Structure 1
Amino acid sequence: MTLEPLALPTSDDPTAWADWVRTRSQTELDLAREIVDKLRGAPVEEPHAVLRAWDEAATHLGNVAAFGSLFGNVHPDEGVRDLADAAEQEAQKVATEWSLDRALYEVFAAIDDTAVADDRQAARLLEKVRKDFRRSGVDRDDATRTRIAEIKERLTELDQEFSRVVRDDVRTIRVEPERLEGLPADWLEAHPADDDGLVTVTTDYPDAVPTRMFARDQGVRRDMSIAFLERGWPATEPLLQEMFALRHELATTVGFPDWPSYDADVKMIGTGEAIPEFIDKITAAAQEPMEKDLALLMERYRQDFPDAEVIAAYDAIHYQELVRQERYDVDSQLVRTYFAFDKVRQGLLDVTGKLFGLRYERVDVPVWQEDVAAYDVFPIDGEGRLGRIYLDLHPREGKYKHAAQFTLTDGVAGRQLPEGVLVCNFSRGLMEHDHVVTLFHEFGHLLHHVLAGHGEWGRFAGVATEWDFVEAPSQMLEEWAWHPDVLRTFATNEAGEPIPVELVDAMRAADDYGKGIYARTQMFYASVSYWFHADQAGEVRDLTERMVELQGKYAALPYLEGTHFFAAFGHLGGYSSAYYTYMWSLVIAKDMFSAFDPDAAGGGLYSDANLEIARRYRDRVLVPGGQQDAADLVADFLGRPFSFDAYAAWLAR
C-alpha cells in the first residue's frame, strides 16, 4: 500500500485554510469518537483488536492536536492561528474525557495479560495505557474527576495563552546608526535608518543575538538585553502563577506530593526528588570549569573596566566573544562569511543523507507561507517514501519565536506517513555558527520523527521515548557541525573557498571556553523550572524574588536588575518542571558520541567505520521510536549502560 502525504490547502487564502482546519479537525475527531464509542462495549476476548482500535483512535486525536499546535504557532493569519488553537484545545478536552472514563478503563483493566504476552509491543502498549488511566485519576469520585477535567482544560488554555503572549511580544529599541558600530556589514545593510534617522532593532533572534554579541556601544547592549529579558512581562506572570498552582492541584489530586514527582514518574529520572540532586551534581561538576571561564572573562573585562568586581550581565556575551576572538583567534564575523543560509541548509541535507542513508527530494506542494520548503525523504538505496519534512526557518510576525520540531502527522505503518516541520528563526543571509549548530540540533528531532514513523503502533511513533531522552539524539547530531571534514563540504565563503581546518580547530578550542558558564546557566534554568513548581507544595514565593535567589545560587553570571527572564521562558509551558532534561540528555549524547572516532583515518567522521556506526545508531536508537525504554535503546547501541564519564571528561577538557 502506497501512503500519500497529507494534502494541505492549495490556496494561501486564509478562508481556504480556515475551512481546511475546521474540516480536518471535525473529520479526525469524529473518527476518533466513533472508534472509542464502539470500544466501550468491546469483548475482552479480543484484546489485540481492542488495543488496535484504541491506538487508531489515539492517532486520529493526535492528528488534531499536532496540526493544531503547529498552525497555532506558524500560520501567518491570526484567524487561522486562533482556529488551530481551538482545535488543539478540543483534542485535549476529548483526551481528558477519555482518560477519566471509567467504562473505558474497565475495558483495559479486564484484559488478561497472558492474552498479549506473545506480542511484546502489544503488552507494552497495554501497560502504558493502564498507567495513563491511573495517572489521570480515573479511579476518583465523580466530583473529583469533574474537577480534574476542569483543571486540564484550563491548563491547555493557559499554556496556549502563555505561548501566544511570548510569541507576539516582540520588543524594539531605536538606535542611531553610528551606535551600531561593530555589527556585521550584511546586518547593517539589512537595517537602514528610517525617516527619523534611527534604526529599529527587534528582540527576534536575528537581531538580538548579533546586537548583544557585536555592538561596541555598551548602552545598546544594555538596552537590547533589557528588552530581550523583559519580553512577556508583566502579562505572563499571572498566567504562570495559575499554571503552577493548577499543576500542583492536579498532581496532589491523583496521589503525588507535587507536580515534579507526577511529571518525573514517566521519565528516565523516575522521581521528582532526583531532579534537584541531578542539578546539584552538574553544578558541582561545573564549578571549577566555570571559575576558569570567569577568570578569563574578568581578565578581559578589566582591560576596559579596571575597577570592575563583577561583569555586567549585558556585557557578558560581548566579552565572551572578545575572549574567543583575542585568545583563540576566532572572529565570529569572519566565521559567519562561511555560513550562507542556502549553503547551510543544503549542507545539512547532504550531511544527514550521507550519515543515515537518506536522500531528500524538494517537492513543489502547497505550504502555509512562501518561505517554507518541503522535501520528501527516501532511503538512499530505495524508492519507498519515508516521509515528508517542511523547513520553516525565517522569522515573521505572529510566528513561534524559538527553534523546535513540530509534528504534522505521526507515522504508522500502513496508516499514515510521518510528516514533521522544523520551525526556526534564522537570518536569510549569513548565519552565526551557533545557529548552524541549532539547525543541526533541531533537524535531529526531525530525523527521529521520520525514521521512527514506520512501526505498527502510533503510540510508539516518532519521538515517543521518555521525555528526558528526546534531546539526546539532537544533541549528538550537533557534533557533526563542529568537525572540519564535515563543515568543509558545505561551509564556503563568497569566493567558494572552504572554511580552513585551522579556523574550525580554533572554533572548537574557543567553544571549549565557556562550557562551565554554559553548564551553570543551564542549571539556573533547570532550577527555575523545578523550584517554581516544587515551591507550590510549601510557601509560594514571589517569582521574581525566587528567580533572583536561584540565579545567585546556580548561575555563573549576575542578575540584571529590573528584568524578568522567566516571563518569556517558554519551556515553563511544555517542559514544565523538567528543563533538567537538556543536560540529562547531553550526558547520554556525549556517551553515545564516544562510540565514534572523529579522527579516524580515511575520512574522519565520514570514514567507513564511522558511517557503519551511524547506520547502527540509526537502526538501534532512532528507528525504534518508543518501542523500548530509552536506557535499553542506548545500551543496545553502546553494548553497555550509559554513564556519566564521557560528559565529565568533556566538561573538564
Structure 2
Amino acid sequence: MFKEFKIDNLEQFPEALENLLNTQRKQIDEITKNGETSYEKILKPLQDMDEELGLFFTPLSHLNSVMNSEVTQKAYEASIPLLSKFSSEIAQNEALFRKMEKISIEDDEAKTVVKNEVRDFILSGVKLPTEQKKRMEEISLHLSELSNTFSQNLLDATNAYGLIIEDEKDVAGMPQTDIDAAKEEIDGKTVYKFTLQIPSYLAYMTYGPNREYRKELSKAYNTRAPENAEVIDRILALKQEKAKLLGFENYAAYALVTRDANSQEEVLGFLNDLADAALSQAKDELEELKAYAKKTDGIEDFAGYDMGYYSEKLKKEKFDFDDTMTKPYFEQEKVLNGMLDIVSELFSVTFNPADVPTWHDCVKPFDIYENGSLSGRIYFDLDARKEKRGGAWMNDWETHFTDAKNQPHLASAFVVCNFAPKTDHTPSLLRHDDVVTLFHEMGHAIHHLFGKCHERSVSGINGVAWDVVEFPSQFLENFAYEAAILKRFGFHYETGEPIPEALMAKIKETKNFQAALGILRQVEFSLFDFQLHQKLYQGEEVQALLDRIREKTSLLKPPSYNKFQHGFAHIFAGGYAAGYYSYKWAEVLSADAFFECLDEKEGFNKERARGYKEIILANGGAKEMSTLYQEWLGRKADVNSLIKLYEIA
C-alpha cells in the first residue's frame, strides 16, 4: 500500500533517475502525439507520472537534508540538472499545452487542475520564442543548483564552528540538561562545547552567563557562509531575468500570480499596517528590557546578543517563570504521544506505530486509521544531529488520490525537527517553544494527510496557494498554549507528577511577552524578502535595502558584521522567495479559525473541528482558501483576530 523508504544504491541513483525520466519522456511523447483530448487520457496519466517521480526522488532529497553526507550531496547535485531539464522540457511542450487548453470537463476538482496547469505552462514560458524558452530552461537549472549550494554552504558553516568553554562559571545557572548536552571530555579535561546548531546555540544565547561568549556565538551565527553573498546575487539576477522574460515588472509580481494576495501594494500595505500596529508597544517592550539589563548588570550598551538572555531573566522576574521550569515536564516521547492522542480525538483518527524501514534509529513511523481503515502514514524525525540541516519542516511524500487505473493511493509525510537529543543523564526534554514547533509541523502534516481529493494535483498541500499554506500549521500550534491540551502530556520526567496548573497558567500568561517585538522582527524579514524581489538588488545594495527597512522595524541597531541574509534559507534555499509575508498573511486565517474552535475547558470545540477537517483540510487545493473558509464559517476571516491573538493594545 505504501512505498518503502529505502535507496538501494546512492552511487547509481542519478543513472536510475535518468532511466525513469527517459521512460516518462516516452510516455509524455505518446500523450502529446495521440489524438486524445480528454482529461482522463491526458492529465490523469500525467499526474500519475508526477507521483511516480516524487516517490522515487523524495527519499534522496530527504536524506540529503536529514542524513547529509558526501555521498548524498554527490547524488543530489548530479540529479538536480536532470530534473531541471526534464521539468523545463514539459513546461515548454507547446503541443501538450495546446491539448490542455482544449480540455473540457465538468468535475470541479479536475477543472481546477486544468486551470492551474494552463496557468503554470504560461508561467513557465510555453508561449515564448524558442531562444527565450531555452534561456528559461537554463535559468531553472541554475536556480536549482544555486539553491542547493546556498543550503550546503550554510550547513557546512554551521557544522564547522564550536565554542569551547573551560571554566564552569561560564555555564553556571544554565539548565542542567543544556550543560549535560554541551559537556565533553578533551584530553582528560571536562569542557563545554556550544555549536551553531539551534538547540545548542539557543541554549547559550538564552541562558549563557558570559556576555563575551554570547557576543562571540552571535557573531559566528550571523557571519555564517559569507560565500552566500555571491550566491544571493546570482539567484536574484536570475529570478529577475525570469520575471522579465515572462512580461512581469519584477519577480514579486510573477510570484503573486499563484498567491492569495492580489497585488504588491496589498502585501506591503498589510505588512506596514502590522508594523504600525506593533511599533509603539515594541518600543515600550525594548525600553523595559534595556532598563532591566542596566539595573541588573549595569549594561549601558545593550546589544542584540543580550536580547535572549535578558528577556529570559526579565520574564522570570516579571512572571516568576522561565523555560527551565517547564522543560522537565515535556519529555519528547510523552509530548509526541500526547499530541497524537489530541489529533486523534480532534479529528477522529487513530495512530498506530508502524514497523517499517526508516533512515535513522530515532525515526518513529505511525500508520493512520480512519473509521477502521488505513488512511495514511507519518514519520517523525525529531532529534538534532550534525548530519541534519537546521530548523523544522514537514515534507510530503505520497499523496491521496485516484490514479488513471482508478486505483486509490494514500498519503504519507515526514515531520522533521531539531530537538535536543537524550543524554546519558536525561531523556530528550523539550522547551515549550519546541512543543509549539512540533504542533506547527503536525499542522502542515495533517493538511496533507487528511486530504480527500481524487485529483493528485490539488490533493493535500498540492495546489494550495503559498501564502495560505501556513494556515493549518499556525492553527494547530495555537492549541499548544492551552492548559487543557498541555495537561495531557505534561508530566515530570523523573517524578511523573503532572504539570502544575500554575505553571500552565504562566505559559499562557507569558505567551505574548514581547509579542510586539516579535511581530516587528517577522515584518522585517517579510518586507526585506518582498522588496528584494521588486527590483534587482546586487552586492552592497542588498545590505543597504535591509538597513533601510531596519530603520523602522529594528529598534536595536544590529552590528555591521550582521549578514542575516547569508543564512536566510527560507527565501534562497526554500520556496518562500517573495512569499515570506505568508506567515503573517496566513496567521489572520489561523487566528480567526483558532478562536472559532477554542473551548477553554476541553481545549477545542469538536463540532467546529470536524467542519475544519471536512472542508479546509479535506479539500486541499481544490478551491481557493478564501472560498473554503467562507464555506466553513459563512464569513471571511477577521483581521482583528490577529491583533487579539497577540494582545496588541
Name the SS of the counterpart of 1:595 in structure 2.
Answer: helix
Structure 2 residue 63 is the aligned partner of structure 1 residue 71: yes
Q: Could you tell me how far apart the structure 1 residues matched to 2:284 and 2:508 are?
A: 17
Return the offset for 1:316. Answer: 0.4
Q: Could you tell me how far apart the structure 2 residues matched to 1:642 and 1:358 are?
A: 27
8 Å contact kept, 1:65–1:88:
no
Structure 1 gap segments, 5+ residues each:
none
After TM superposition, the structure 1 stretch with the greater mean CA deviation from structure 2, 188-197 or 96-105, is: 188-197
| Alignment deviations for residues 288-308 of structure 1 (CA, whole Å, 9 cap, x no partner) | 221232232123122135573
Q: Could you tell me how far apart the structure 2 residues matched to 1:647 and 1:313 are?
A: 27
Name the SS of the counterpart of 2:163 in structure 1.
Answer: strand
Partner of 2:2: 5
Partner of 1:159: 147
Structure 2 gap segments, 5+ residues each:
422-427
Residue 620 (structure 1) aligned to one of 610, 615, 620: 615
Q: Could you tell me how far apart the structure 2 residues matched to 1:68 and 1:402 are?
A: 19
Matches within 5 A, 1:547-626: 547-573=546-572, 574=574, 575-599=576-600, 603-606=601-604, 610-626=605-621
Q: Could you tell me how far apart the structure 2 residues matched to 1:579 and 1:417 are?
A: 30
Residue 331 (structure 1) aligned to one of 303, 315, 322: 322
8 Å contact kept, 1:29–1:60:
no
Return the offset for 1:193. Answer: 4.1
What amino acid does structure 2 have at the position aligned with 1:391?
F
Structure 2 residue 225 is the aligned partner of structure 1 residue 226: no
8 Å contact kept, 1:263–1:272:
no
Name the SS of the counterpart of 1:406 in structure 2.
Answer: strand
Partner of 2:425: none
Name the SS of the counterpart of 1:194 in structure 2.
Answer: strand
| Alignment deviations for residues 182-227 of structure 1 (CA, whole Å, 9 cap, x no partner) | 2111221232243254322111011011110011111121111112
Partner of 2:110: 122
After superposition, the Cα gap between the structure-2 partners of 1:618 and 1:294, relative to the gap in structure 1 and judged at 3 Å, is same
Matches within 5 A, 1:204-603: 204-232=197-225, 234-304=226-296, 306=298, 308=300, 311-379=302-370, 381-382=371-372, 384-413=373-402, 414-428=407-421, 429-452=428-451, 454-464=452-462, 465-493=464-492, 494-536=494-536, 541-573=540-572, 574=574, 575-599=576-600, 603=601
| Alignment deviations for residues 282-339 of structure 1 (CA, whole Å, 9 cap, x no partner) | 111111221232232123122135573x631000011111121111111211111111
Residue 650 (structure 1) aligned to one of 624, 631, 645: 645
Structure 2 residue 121 is the aligned partner of structure 1 residue 133: yes
Return the offset for 1:346. Answer: 1.4
Partner of 2:174: 183
Q: Could you tell me how far apart the structure 2 residues matched to 1:216 and 1:100 are?
A: 58
Name the SS of the counterpart of 1:201 in structure 2.
Answer: strand
Q: Could you tell me how far apart the structure 1 residues matched to 2:167 and 2:408 are?
A: 56
Structure 2 residue 88 is the aligned partner of structure 1 residue 105: no
8 Å contact kept, 1:138–1:145:
yes
What amino acid does structure 2 have at the position aligned with 1:254?
L
Q: What is the CA RMSD across the aligned residues, in angstroms?
A: 2.1
Name the SS of the counterpart of 2:385 in structure 1.
Answer: coil
Name the SS of the counterpart of 1:559 in structure 2.
Answer: coil
After superposition, the Cα gap between the structure-2 partners of 1:44 and 1:597, relative to the gap in structure 1 and judged at 3 Å, is same
Return the offset for 1:54. Answer: 2.6
After superposition, the Cα gap between the structure-2 partners of 1:241 and 1:64, relative to the gap in structure 1 and judged at 3 Å, is farther
Name the SS of the counterpart of 2:383 in structure 1.
Answer: coil
What amino acid does structure 2 have at the position aligned with 1:334?
M
After superposition, the Cα gap between the structure-2 partners of 1:257 and 1:561, relative to the gap in structure 1 and judged at 3 Å, is same
8 Å contact kept, 1:393–1:424:
yes
Q: Could you tell me how far apart the structure 2 residues matched to 1:96 and 1:444 are?
A: 32
Residue 162 (structure 2) aligned to one of 167, 172, 177: 172
Name the SS of the counterpart of 1:390 in structure 2.
Answer: strand
Name the SS of the counterpart of 1:535 in structure 2.
Answer: coil
Task: Give the TM-score, by structure 2 length.
Answer: 0.92
The alignment of Structure 1 onto Structure 2 pairs a total of residues equal to 629
After superposition, the Cα gap between the structure-2 partners of 1:277 and 1:24, relative to the gap in structure 1 and judged at 3 Å, is farther
8 Å contact kept, 1:418–1:449:
yes
Q: Could you tell me how far apart the structure 1 residues matched to 2:548 and 2:298 are?
A: 28
Q: Could you tell me how far apart the structure 2 residues matched to 1:272 and 1:61 are?
A: 34
After superposition, the Cα gap between the structure-2 partners of 1:418 and 1:92, relative to the gap in structure 1 and judged at 3 Å, is farther
Q: Could you tell me how far apart the structure 1 residues matched to 2:303 and 2:322 are?
A: 22
Return the offset for 1:389. Answer: 1.1
After TM superposition, the structure 1 stretch with the greater mean CA deviation from structure 2, 267-276 or 509-518, is: 267-276
Return the offset for 1:237. Answer: 0.9
Return the offset for 1:540. Answer: 6.8
Residue 130 (structure 2) aligned to one of 142, 147, 155: 142
8 Å contact kept, 2:84–2:144:
yes
8 Å contact kept, 2:11–2:75:
no
What amino acid does structure 1 have at the position aligned with 2:180?
E
8 Å contact kept, 1:392–1:422:
yes
